[in-house]
């Protein structure tokens, strides 16, 4: 009888451990998606939940992130911001290169969907991220996309520029296109 107890304990131990670890069973980014679904636009809450998911997933974060984003432009926007913006990191190290790659993929997805609003936002953020990484030609190309859209339709496009910090405005304005940097009065980012 004593032997059967040991066998039962050995057989059931892994099951008890697995049953107790509900966190690993949770679908990646499900808490984040729930906040978005509930229309909770609090960026601090959203970025905190995103950072918590990044910690929870550990080495699985990047592949799970790519699967979760798929071709969803909104998810690309969140990821590119929350991987790079200091106030969105919640103690984690920035993943600036990944953020830029995600932003660039978002630009291409937005071009295919012909969504001007998403394209402007992604292009502005990607221009700033590229500049900060020293990739000036890429920064210029993305700024040109945003500025060209603004020139064609300033009323619609200026409303779609992302909300940015003061340093973001400075960095965006300092990217030269056409031989010059944009003038603050003509920069739709400055209007906000």
Asked if residue 19 is part of any domain, the answer here is no
DSSP string, 160-172: TSPP--HHHHHHH
Domain annotation covers residue 13: no
As a whole number of angstroms, the distance between CA 38 and CA 100 comes to 28
- For residues 5 and 133, what is the distance between their CA atoms, to the nearest angstrom? 61
Asked whether residue 119 is domain-assigned, the answer is yes
Name the domain count of the chain: 1
Give a yes or no: residue 18 inside a domain.
no
Both structure tokens of 34: 């729930």
- pLDDT tens figures, 177-187: 975 545 443 45
116-129 b/e (C-beta count within 10 Å ≥ 16 → b)? bebbbbbbbbbbbb
Q: Considering the chain, what percentage of its residues have pLDDT values greater than 90? A: 51
Structure confidence at residue 4 (pLDDT)? 56
**pTM value?**
0.77
Look up the domain containing 148 and give its range: 27-184
**Cβ-contact 176, 145 below 8 angstroms:** no
**What confidence score (pLDDT) does residue 186 get?**
45
DSSP state of 1: -
Structural domain includes residue 189 = no
Is residue 159 in a domain?
A: yes
Helix (H/G/I), strand (E/B), else coil: 107: helix
> Is 90 exceeded by the pLDDT of residue 82?
yes
Q: What is the pLDDT of residues 116-169, one digit of tens each?
A: 777 888 899 999 999 999 999 999 999 999 999 888 877 766 666 667 788 898
How far apart are the C-alpha atoms of 58 and 37, rounded to whole Å? Answer: 25
Stretch (H or E) spanning 153: none
Average pLDDT value for the chain: 82
pLDDT, residue 24, reads 58
CATH number, domain at 126? 1.25.40
- DSSP symbol at 58: G
pLDDT score recorded for residue 69: 97
pLDDT of res. 15: 46
Count CB-CB contacts under 10 A for residue 97.
Answer: 13
């Amino acid at each position: 009888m004593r032997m059967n107890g040991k066998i039962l304990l050995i057989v059931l131990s892994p099951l008890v451990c697995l049953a107790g670890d509900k966190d690993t069973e949770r679908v990646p980014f499900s808490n984040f998606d729930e906040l978005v679904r509930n229309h909770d636009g609090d960026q601090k809450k959203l970025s905190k939940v995103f950072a918590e998911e990044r910690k929870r997933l550990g080495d699985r974060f990047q592949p799970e992130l790519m699967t979760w984003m798929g071709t969803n432009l909104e998810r690309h926007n969140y990821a590119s911001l929350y991987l790079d913006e200091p106030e969105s990191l919640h103690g984690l190290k920035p993943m600036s290169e990944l953020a830029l790659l995600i932003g660039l993929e978002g630009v291409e997805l937005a071009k295919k969907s012909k969504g001007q609003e998403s394209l402007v936002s992604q292009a502005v953020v990607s221009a700033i991220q590229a500049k900060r990484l020293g990739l000036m030609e890429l920064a210029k190309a993305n700024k040109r996309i945003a500025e060209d859209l603004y020139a064609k339709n300033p009323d619609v496009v200026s409303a779609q520029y992302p909300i940015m910090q003061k340093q973001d405005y400075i960095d965006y304005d300092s990217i030269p296109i056409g031989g010059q940097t944009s003038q603050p009065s003509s920069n739709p980012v400055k209007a906000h």
